[in-house]
Structure 1
Amino acid sequence: MKQTEEHMNGQNDPQDLQEPVNINTDENTPGDQHLNEPVTEESELEALKTKLEEKNDQYLRLAAEFDNFKRRTAKERVELIQTAGKDVIVSLLEVLDDAARAEGQMDKTEDLGQIREGIRLVFQKLRSTLQARGLKPMEAKGTEFNADLHEAITEIPAGEEQAGKVVDEVTKGYYLNEKIIRFAKVVVGK
């Protein structure tokens, strides 16, 4: 009872003097942190700002890299289009040389047999050069009419065995590497 009277009288206990009471602390926070100072929120905010800056930099670099990729592929596409036929043209130069020699021979020679043979050789070389590049002629005459392969110019009356079939080929069709590059223009029997 003596101690309670001393507390009431304003006398301090030696234990009370050792631990001062801080009224600004919360029991859930460390003793050195003030309640009005949100230190953890500022550090979290700084960390989020740093992370945002990193992601923004990463995004800008990725966008620049993609723009470079688009420019590079557009340039390559233009170059490819400009030189797409180069290989074919180079291989046809030999045929052009042969045609020029045949034309020179026609002026010098009166023998039509030699001229015909020379022209046949030039045309055969032209066909073989194009076939080596993947060109294949379409065989249409005598086959069933197929709208996916043939373009009907006209129909003519024909016998029952020729009905629905290609009777004549006005313009030959061609495949390039198994893809149709020109439809055959045909006359169909009805």
Structure 2
Amino acid sequence: MAEKTNNTGEMNNEAVDEVVEEVFDEAESVDEETVEAAEQQNEEGSSLASELEAKLEESENRYFRLRADFENFRRRVNLDKESSEKYRAQSLISDLLPAIDNFERAMQMAPENEQTKSLLQGMDMVYRSLIEALKKEGVEPIEAVGTEFDPHLHQAVMQVEDPGHESNVVVEEFQKGYKLKDRVIRPSMVKVNQ
């Protein structure tokens, strides 16, 4: 590029036009290369962007599933903890029930003399203390005689035809049943009318 200057040292119009034309030519070639590179990068970028979006969505889904699983786990642990706390005495109560049955059978004996009578009074006091302690833990006897037979609460060991009672009603109780709060520890062993 030849510089053409006038007397004042400034470029003339022809020289400016030539320089501008050369700059434009160079800019065009650079723009074409840039556009091609940008298009290629855009294509790669859009596939990269869609790939990244897919990975992000997958990660978010995995995160939400893990969070839900953790919440479910925490809820189950809390329910198990509440249940174990609520029924913590179940094993001990199950072990005490045969002793209570023996107390009840012993107290049904008729006292023959004064010693037997005082012995039965002492047994009655111990029996009442045990029953009171069980009540504090939430144990209650299952009502059986005169109620409708419920297989969740009663265990039928005999059936009888008694016209004096309605059908499917418990007529006699052989062994008392107990519940701990809302859970049956031992069902009542009963005789049911057909």
What TM-score, normalized to structure 2? Answer: 0.52
Structure 1 residues 156 and 70: alpha-carbon distance in aligned structure 2, compared to 1, 3 A threshold: closer
**1:43 CA displacement:** 7.4
What CA deviation, in whole Å up to 9, does each residue of 1:89-142 have, x standing for no partner?
A: 8xx9xxxxxxxxxxxxxxxxx932332111111110110111111111112112
Structure 1 residues 85 and 25: alpha-carbon distance in aligned structure 2, compared to 1, 3 A threshold: same
Matched, 1:24 2:26: no
Are 1:24 and 1:35, in contact at CA under 8 Å, matched by a contact in 2? no
Secondary structure in structure 1 of the residue aligned to 2:192:
strand
Corresponding position of 1:124: 128
Matched, 1:161 2:164: yes
CA-atom RMSD, angstroms? 4.8
Matched, 1:182 2:192: no
Provide the C-alpha distance between the structure 2 equivalents of 1:81 and 1:177, rounded to a whole number of angstroms: 13
Query: 1:147 pairs with 121, 146, 151, which one?
Result: 151
Provide the C-alpha distance between the structure 1 equivalents of 2:184 and 2:165, rounded to a whole number of angstroms: 25
Alignment of 1:108-119 (within 5 A): 111-119=115-123
Structure 1 residues 167 and 128: alpha-carbon distance in aligned structure 2, compared to 1, 3 A threshold: same
Corresponding position of 1:96: none
Are 1:174 and 1:181, in contact at CA under 8 Å, matched by a contact in 2? yes
Percent identity between the aligned chains? 25
Bigger proportion of residues as helix = 2
Structure 1 residues 189 and 70: alpha-carbon distance in aligned structure 2, compared to 1, 3 A threshold: closer
Are 2:149 and 2:170, in contact at CA under 8 Å, matched by a contact in 1? yes
The number of residues matched between the two structures is 148
Structure 1 residues 144 and 18: alpha-carbon distance in aligned structure 2, compared to 1, 3 A threshold: closer
Corresponding position of 1:170: 174
- Give the gaps of 5 or more residues in structure 1: 1-11, 28-32, 93-109
**1:167 CA displacement:** 1.5
**1:181 CA displacement:** 3.3
- Give the gaps of 5 or more residues in structure 2: 1-13, 97-113
Structure 1 residues 120 and 63: alpha-carbon distance in aligned structure 2, compared to 1, 3 A threshold: same
Corresponding position of 2:37: 37
Secondary structure in structure 1 of the residue aligned to 2:37:
coil
